[in-house]
Amino acid sequence: MTQKKNIAIMGAGLVGSLLSLYLAKRGYTINLYERRPDMRINSIDGGRSINLALSDRGWRALRGIGIEEEVRKVAVPMYRRVMHDEKGNLTYQPYGKEGQAIYSVSRGGLNVALMNISEPNPNISYHFNRQVMDVNVRTSEVLLQNHTTHEQERIKPDLIFGADGAYSMVRGAMQKTELFDYEQKYLEYGYKELTIPPAEDGGWLLEKNALHIWPRGNYMMIALPNIDGSFTCTLFFPYEGTRSFATIKNDNDLLNFFVEVFPDAVPLMPDLAQEYFANPIGSLVTIKCFPWSYDGRLMLIGDACHAVVPFYGQGMNAGFEDITVLDQMLETFDGDWHSLFKTFERKRKPDADAIADLAVLNFEEMRDKVADPRFLLRKKIESKISEQYPDKWIPLYTMVTFTDLPYSYAMEAGMMQEKIMKKVMKHIESAEDYEKPEVQKLLQKQLVKKEKLKPYKG
């Protein structure tokens, strides 16, 4: 087995571009093939969501290749959730401890940054306007449509990475092989992107360093800050039903609805109606599959093998963490791609499943529970527990967002915490009740039990 194979990465999105840097560092020759034109020349957004939340797992992968600081310059920290009720009253929920934040970054901006960093590398070549038409997984031949020359091209790399996203053509080819497990599941909600523009002085019209939520039970709007002073808003809304995309048919329907349910946002959205009717409705899909690799010669990575809904802000972070894990395994398996791919997919699959399920669950939390004072009280109690027992209690959100504990471990620990909190909250009317002896006694007892779930040792 030759050591330094010729590697093709299908898809030059966030995961493909970052992966190219990691592989090039180890001396491999990398060709990236991207369906869309070079977004640095021709900034077409392609309908994907505009900004993303970067958190610890993502930062770690950027740090691993030495580009953390460069990205941090264009990222806006968000320290807390700010909830807006129907009257415009605000409540708050910190994401973590003092100073802990998730970071709003522009998908396009980050992608451009990754391309600009990787393209000068002599081992990395980008090929734009190349659409994958067919992949023969048995021979590693890929048929590409060149949208510039309108001709078809054939390539036959030694190794193929499918980093071509939720609607992966590479995965489509895998799906035709025997014994390929596959699942795609849509939520009954779509999303629509809207904008709160910058203030006249270039500042932010809402609290800058926060993720804003308008939770409304079975739907919600959120807003994430951009570095230019604007916010990108996303309305998550049922397709059908009394209040849904189906029932908003004209400007009047739209404005009546927004004024009633998002009254404090409406004055900040001058282009609301124009944007609402011009922008497409995005769909929300979870994709699971297995295996992720074929015969040591082809491997899916990122959304291509585990697309998640956006409600935990972990889609990109999970894809970047794939790369961190893969890079660690390259140390052990360098050259033996067959074992590497098998080990990687077995290790990573439970974590991908866990974050997919957590993301669906978190939708309910964001659109509904955060509006409930009991829920916010519970979160306060949880952080008190975490302060008092730092070794035994890391809140679920913290595990997912601010640690590199495996998602599957976080999910299991989270379910155990859920059970304990149900018992604890029976004794809690206000934050002060935390000091009550029965609460303290209950916690002591429960946290001894909790030791059964051993801390993850890697």
Contacting residues toward its own copies, per CB under 8 A: 175, 178-186, 239, 283
Shortest Å distance, C-beta 184 to its own copies? 5
Of 111, 103, 22, the closest CA to residue 322 belongs to 22
CA–CA separation, 335 and 107 (whole Å): 33
The answer to whether residues 217 and 262 touch, using CB atoms and an 8 Å cutoff, is no
Shortest Å distance, C-beta 275 to its own copies? 21
CA–CA separation, 420 and 378 (whole Å): 11
Q: Which is nearer to its own copies, 172 or 197 (CB)?
A: 172
Angle subtended by helix axes 14-25 and 315-333, to nearest 10: 20
Cα–Cα distances in angstroms (integers) from residue 366 to residues 53, 58, 370, 376, in the given order: 15, 22, 6, 12
Shortest Å distance, C-beta 26 to its own copies? 31
Q: Which is nearer to its own copies, 167 or 277 (CB)?
A: 167
Residue 292: left if φ>0, alpha if ψ -120 to 50, beta else—which one? alpha
Shortest Å distance, C-beta 299 to its own copies? 20
Q: Which is nearer to its own copies, 258 or 292 (CB)?
A: 292
The two structure tokens encoding residue 392:
């035994």
Rg (CA), the chain: 23
Shortest Å distance, C-beta 179 to its own copies? 5
Shortest Å distance, C-beta 281 to its own copies? 9
Q: Which is nearer to its own copies, 13 or 291 (CB)?
A: 291
Shortest Å distance, C-beta 288 to its own copies? 9
Shortest Å distance, C-beta 342 to its own copies? 12
Helix, strand and coil content of the chain, in percent to the nearest 5, comes to 40, 25, 35
Q: Which is nearer to its own copies, 267 or 280 (CB)?
A: 280
Q: Which is nearer to its own copies, 224 or 352 (CB)?
A: 352
Which residues does 30 contact at the CB level (< 8 Å), separation at least 6?
7, 8, 9, 20, 23, 24, 123, 124, 125
Q: Which is nearer to its own copies, 245 or 434 (CB)?
A: 245
The answer to whether residues 385 and 330 touch, using CB atoms and an 8 Å cutoff, is no
The two structure tokens encoding residue 151:
């001709």
Q: Which is nearer to its own copies, 185 or 423 (CB)?
A: 185
Q: Which is nearer to its own copies, 174 or 385 (CB)?
A: 174
Q: How do beta strands 90-94 and 159-162 pair?
A: unpaired
Of 141, 161, 176, the closest CA to residue 8 belongs to 161
The answer to whether residues 271 and 282 touch, using CB atoms and an 8 Å cutoff, is no
Shortest Å distance, C-beta 209 to its own copies? 36
